[in-house]
Amino acid sequence: MTAMGDELEQTERTTVRRLAERGRFDRATANAVIDEAYIAHVGFVVDGEPRVLPMTYGRIGESLYLHGAVGNAMLRASTDAEVCVTITLLDGLVLARSAFHHSMNYRSVVLVGRAVRVDDDAEKERAFDAIVDHVLPGRGAEARAANPSESRKTLVLRLAIEEGSAKVRAGGPVDDDEDLDLDVWAGVIPLAVVPGPPEQDPDQRLRGLTSSEPERARLSR
Amino acid sequence: MTAMGDELEQTERTTVRRLAERGRFDRATANAVIDEAYIAHVGFVVDGEPRVLPMTYGRIGESLYLHGAVGNAMLRASTDAEVCVTITLLDGLVLARSAFHHSMNYRSVVLVGRAVRVDDDAEKERAFDAIVDHVLPGRGAEARAANPSESRKTLVLRLAIEEGSAKVRAGGPVDDDEDLDLDVWAGVIPLAVVPGPPEQDPDQRLRGLTSSEPERARLSR
């Protein structure tokens, strides 16, 4: 069941069925999506019913880390259980001449597998760093690290990035031939997540602290 | 089990447990999130395991519509089945002085319920319009409407916006008192989904078509 090398493992449950030509199974594509997005939608089953919650995460190599409070009901339900972690980047709105062929440009990753609790303190520390660095590169080294009490209060789950698939749509609308002369504007509206100017906690200025705000380059994905 | 009036129905499965003070149950908050976001992450159960896929959607009043090809395995698995539809807007990165208090500003909605297939042709048409208008207001009236063959090829599911909750985090970092003098930049990096300049399908220019591109105001959420 272990994925070897540069490819994700393609199984019955991760085969891209719908528009299969959009499927990607190389780790490079999947990792690029994982690293660029900020949040994952994590699916788990409670009493036979689906639940989906948005969560932050971090990646170290072929491991994805989730975390939350030890009392977090959802994380507890996901521990040693099958989860589905879906991460989506929306790149554009695709406006076709026909309503039917409207679409969106996107890059998404779907990972499935068993989420296991991380008990090793050193791995937990690395996971915390990865999760904070995922928000802003280098931030893990700047912020005050988690102390033992904070670490005890935090449940960390690891999911192997192993069984899954990516899916990518790019490019313009694909209309039917008989619609091509319709005088309805067709094309793509690109979308991007753009950071605004950093808003410093006013309390820091009152205290006369001089740490500098994150440079724009660090914020670009 | 019907939610009355301006509030979503709060049940055992939709109670906001973690950081309950962030929970919102008014329809106005939930609808604002639903209308502003472009995609939903739809969770369903296959063979007892969770699956989560990104989907577009439309809203009419207290109904949420999903759609896809009739052969779409996921939509078929969701028909007359319990689903969880989660919609998330990411508003900012919250950088605290401590790694532990890093957070994100977001607005999210979690809806649960049974997705039912829409068989009525008139309701299907309204759903198509709502889904296309959700991408770009007014677009449903501009684009060539679905013909009977396209309508037959499309499976539409309706989920009542009834049992669910919204969750909102806003504002700056909340650090522990003993960390407030640490000289680590703290604050919020606002994030927004921003549309770029429309990219017209080059084929339209070759054909000399003159329909005008969507104005920026129509693209703002």
Q: What is the DSSP string of A29-89?
A: HHHHHHHH-S-EEEEEEETTEEEEEEE--EEETTEEEEEEETT-HHHHHHBTEEEEEEEEE
* Higher-pLDDT residue of A176, A219: A176
Q: What is the pLDDT of residues B156-176, one digit of tens each?
A: 999 999 999 999 999 999 999
Residue B3 has pLDDT above 60, yes or no: no
Provide the pLDDT confidence category of residue B1 given band limits of 50, 70 and 90. very low
Query: Other C-beta atoms within 10 Å of A78: how many?
Result: 30
Residue A184 has pLDDT above 80, yes or no: yes
**A92 is in which domain, residue-wise?**
20-174
Q: What is the pLDDT of residues A64-108, one digit of tens each?
A: 999 999 988 888 888 899 999 999 999 999 999 999 999 999 999
Residue B18 has pLDDT above 80, yes or no: no
- Is B12 contained in some domain? no
Map residue A3 onto helix, strand or coil.
coil
Q: Quote the pLDDT of residue A1.
A: 38
Chain A 76-105, residues with CB within 8 Å of chain B CB atoms: 82-86, 88, 90, 93, 95-100, 102, 104
* Higher-pLDDT residue of B128, B78: B128
CB B69 to CB A41 under 8 A?
A: no
- Is B5 contained in some domain? no
Q: Which residues does A84 contact at the CB level (< 8 Å), separation at least 6?
A: A42, A43, A44, A110, A111, A112, B43, B49, B50, B51, B52
- Is A83 contained in some domain? yes
- Is B220 contained in some domain? no
Q: What is the ipTM of this complex?
A: 0.94
- Is B106 contained in some domain? yes
Which residue from A18, A99, A219 is facing B132, i.e. has the nearest CB? A99
DSSP state letters, A118-179: ---HHHHHHHHHHHHHHHSTTHHHHSBPPPHHHHHTEEEEEEETTEEEEEEE-SS----GGG
- Is A74 contained in some domain? yes
Nearest CA in chain A to B133: A99
- The model scores a pTM over 0.90: yes
Q: Quote the pLDDT of residue B2.
A: 42
Residue B23 has pLDDT above 90, yes or no: no
> What is the rounded average pLDDT of the residues B10-17?
80
> What is the rounded average pLDDT of the residues A153-173?
96
Nearest CA in chain A to B18: A72
Q: Does residue B179 belong to the interface with chain A, where contact is any CB pair within 8 Å?
A: yes
Which residue from B83, B110, B214 is facing A185, i.e. has the nearest CB? B214
CB A38 to CB B93 under 8 A?
A: yes
Q: Does residue A201 belong to the interface with chain B, where contact is any CB pair within 8 Å?
A: yes
**Per-residue CA distances from A37 to A23, A189, B37, B69, B102 (Å):** 18, 19, 16, 27, 17
- Rounded to the nearest angstrom, the minimum Cα separation between B45 and chain A is 6
User: What are B69's two structure tokens?
Assistant: 């090809």
Identify the CATH number of the domain in which residue A149 sits.
Answer: 2.30.110.10
Which residue from A48, A53, A112 is facing B86, i.e. has the nearest CB? A53
Q: Quote the pLDDT of residue B189.
A: 97
Say how far apart CA A97 and CA A95 lie, in whole Å: 7
- Is A128 contained in some domain? yes
* Higher-pLDDT residue of B123, B13: B123
- Is A143 contained in some domain? yes
Output the average pLDDT for chain B.
93
Say how far apart CA B150 and CA A137 lie, in whole Å: 47
Q: Quote the pLDDT of residue B116.
A: 96
- Rounded to the nearest angstrom, the minimum Cα separation between B101 and chain A is 9
Q: Does residue A194 belong to the interface with chain B, where contact is any CB pair within 8 Å?
A: yes
Which residue from A54, A184, A194 is facing B143, i.e. has the nearest CB? A184
Under a CB-based contact definition with an 8 Å cutoff, are residues B168 and B15 in contact? no
* Tally of domains in chain B: 1
Longest dimension (CA), chain A: 67
Q: Which of A13, A33, A95 would you mutate first to test chain B, the one with the most B CBs within 10 A?
A: A95
Output the average pLDDT for chain A.
93
